[in-house]
Amino acid sequence: MNKEIVLSGIRPTGNLHLGNYFGALSKFVRLQDDYDCRFFIADLHALTTNTDPDALHANVKGILAEYLAAGIDPEKAAIFVQSDVPEISELYLLLNMHVGIGELMRTASFKDKARKCLGIGKDACETEEEIEHQIIGADNNKRVCAGLLTYPTLMAVDILIQKAKYVPVGKDQLQHLELTRRFARRFNSFYGVEEFIEPEDFNFGGKPVKVPGLDGSGKMGKSEGNCIYLIDDPKVIRKKVMRAVTDQGPTEPNSPISEPIANLLGLMELTSSPETVQQFRDAYADCSIRYGDLKKQLAEDIVALTDPIRQRINDILANDEYLRKVLARGAEVAREQASKTLAEVRQIMGIRHF
Ligand code: ADP
Ligand code: TRP
């Protein structure tokens, strides 16, 4: 029986952190036995914000080693680099003809990244009109590139070209997935075809994952500077966790849990045993909790998870020949499906040979 297709990718913009691991990578590893999995390194997407060629090149190799070290088995799942599949770039051009600039401009990630490009703080520019005004009026050395605007088209193409049914991603990517479904539906109904499959998120029946940062609020993210990286040395991890923001501690039994503490317990839920988490929740409820103990435990549980991965990353990075083989095989699998889909779409849209 044909297995359903799972597709996901991560941008090579730096080392992977616990947010990437729990939001995406750990799910990739769990899915590879039961689905036809394709995992890629989104180097074209990285170009929307990264303009340093050497850093991009190094990061592609880094993410590849991290995929493998975290347990993606290239015998089970295809691993490829986005730009090794040129069909993606052509379909991106074609699909863009059915995507509105208005809907792209309203995407939360676009507004967020555009604001960062222009160096505008979150509070300085609240309404859609204000941000539009800033983008249109921006002078040339602070421009928001068109690639950033059409980021969701490219992401939709990654998914639709592979006919993927499931897309394991963290919570912040759900809006992009919603747009992908919309573009697929629109294309199918415009041409009266059933070309594209509407993809779904995949969370093993649980809630979408959002890994918090250690700075008291928000999510763990590269640009937030609050990450624990898979490649971090145990000493560095212990230091980062011990510095995490806490509060004064509960003064009355069963007090509500503040955000920084909820975040630490949330991280603990991902890395520690359920009994350990319960023990600290009980200690919070009866006011006997000591945040120093909570952090020590959390740090050790994170190190137990990341240290074997870190050691494998370093070994894998030294083996260029193996890495090249993995990518060549992955690209072959990805291109086989991509060229089929592209040929169908060209035909549907009227780009036909005489
Ligand atoms: P970053 O936000 O650090 O730049 P990316 O945008 O490259 O990370 O994310 C790659 C994958 O990791 C996506 O599937 C994204 O949803 C997931 N991810 C990133 N940060 C988190 C987080 N804090 N919690 C859950 N998932 C996350
Ligand atoms: N936009 C995703 C991110 O920032 C990366 C990505 C690009 C992706 N194309 C994709 C994820 C296709 C899943 C499927 O993390």
Spell out the long-range contacts of 187-196 with Cβ–Cβ below 8 A and sequence spacing 24 or more.
187/95, 187/98, 190/98, 191/348, 191/349, 193/348, 195/341, 195/344, 195/345, 195/348, 196/160, 196/163
The band of 143, judged by pLDDT with boundaries at 50, 70 and 90, is confident
Distance, CA of 286 to CA of 235 (rounded, Å): 32
Ligand 2 pocket test, pick from 7, 10, 81, 166 with the greatest ligand atom count within 8 Å of Cβ, gives 10
Calculate what percentage of the chain has a pLDDT beyond 70.
Answer: 98
Instruction: Tell me, using a 6 A CB cutoff, whether residue 263 lines ligand 2.
Output: no
Task: Choose between 51 and 43: higher pLDDT.
Answer: 43
Q: What CATH number labels 232-314?
A: 1.10.240.10
Q: What average pLDDT score do residues 102-113 get?
A: 92
Residue among 6, 7, 8, 43 whose CB has most ligand 2 atoms within 8 A, to mutate: 8
| Residue 138, both tokens | 């921006």
Q: Write out pLDDT tens, residues 316-329.
A: 999 999 999 999 99
DSSP 82-119: GGG-HHHHHHHHHHHTT--HHHHHT-HHHHHHHHHHHT
Rounded distance between C-alpha atoms, residue 169 and residue 173, angstroms: 6
CA–CA distance, 316 with 292 (Å, rounded to integer):
36
Task: Using the predicted structure, report yes or no on whether residue 151 has a pLDDT greater than 90.
Answer: yes
Specify the pairing of strand 36-41 against strand 5-10: parallel
Most ligand 1 atoms within 8 A of CB, residue of 6, 20, 207 to mutate: 20
Under the phi-then-psi rule, with left for phi > 0, alpha for psi from -120 to 50, and beta for the rest, what region is 134?
alpha
CA 334, chain centre distance (Å):
19
What is the pLDDT averaged over residues 177-182? 98
Identify the pLDDT of residue 51: 81
Please compute the mean of the pLDDT values over residues 94-99 and round it to a whole number: 98
Q: Give, using CA atoms, the residue closest to atom 13 of ligand 2.
A: 8
Ligand closest to the CA atom of residue 214: 1
Predicted confidence at residue 133, as pLDDT, reads 80
Angle ∠(21,25,26) on CA atoms, nearest 5:
80
Catalytic residues: 113, 219, 222
The residues spanned by each domain of the chain are 5-99+150-210+319-349, 232-314
Closest of 339, 327, 266, 315 to residue 23, by C-alpha: 266
pLDDT digits (tens, 9 = 90+) for 237-254: 999 999 999 999 999 999
- Residue 141, pLDDT score: 72
Shortest-distance atom of ligand 1 to CA 8 = 14
Contact present, 153 and 13 (Cβ < 8 Å): no
Mean pLDDT in residue range 203-218: 86
Rounded Cα distance, 200 and 97, in Å: 23
Residues 5 and 164: beta-carbon distance below 8 Å? yes
Q: Return the structure tokens found at 137.
A: 């009026």
d(CA 290, ligand 2 centre) in Å: 39
Sequence-ordered alpha helix ranges (H) in the chain = 18-20, 26-31, 43-46, 53-70, 86-96, 101-105, 108-118, 128-137, 146-149, 151-161, 174-191, 234-242, 259-271, 274-285, 291-317, 320-349
Q: Which residues line ligand 1 (CB under 6 A)?
A: 10-11, 13, 19-20, 22-24, 169-173, 209-211, 219-222
Q: Report yes or no: 257 and 335 within 8 Å, Cβ to Cβ.
A: no
Per-residue confidence (pLDDT) for residue 28, from 0 to 100: 97
| Of 18, 22, 24, the residue nearest 41 (C-alpha) | 24
Q: What is the pLDDT of residue 1?
A: 66
Q: What is the overall mean pLDDT for the chain?
A: 94
For residues 280, 282, 288, 292, the Cα torsion angle rounded to the nearest 10 degrees is 10
| Predicted local distance difference test score (pLDDT) of residue 127 | 72
How does pLDDT run across 113-132, given as a tens digit for each residue?
888 888 887 766 667 777 77
In this structure, which topology does domain 5-99+150-210+319-349 adopt according to CATH?
A: Rossmann fold (3.40.50)
Q: Is the pLDDT of residue 217 over 80?
A: no
Residue 73 has phi, psi (to 5 degrees) of: -100, 115
Cα 313 to Cα 29, 60, 256, 323: the distances in Å are 16, 13, 41, 12
pLDDT in tens, 251-295: 999 999 999 999 999 999 999 999 999 999 999 999 999 999 999
Burial of 314 (0-12, 13-18, 19+ CB in 10 A): exposed
Residue 102 tokens, joined: 């208005």
In ligand 1, the atom with minimum distance to the C-alpha of 227 is 3
The pLDDT of residue 205 is: 86
Name the most confidently modeled range: 157-166, 197-206, 256-265. Answer: 157-166
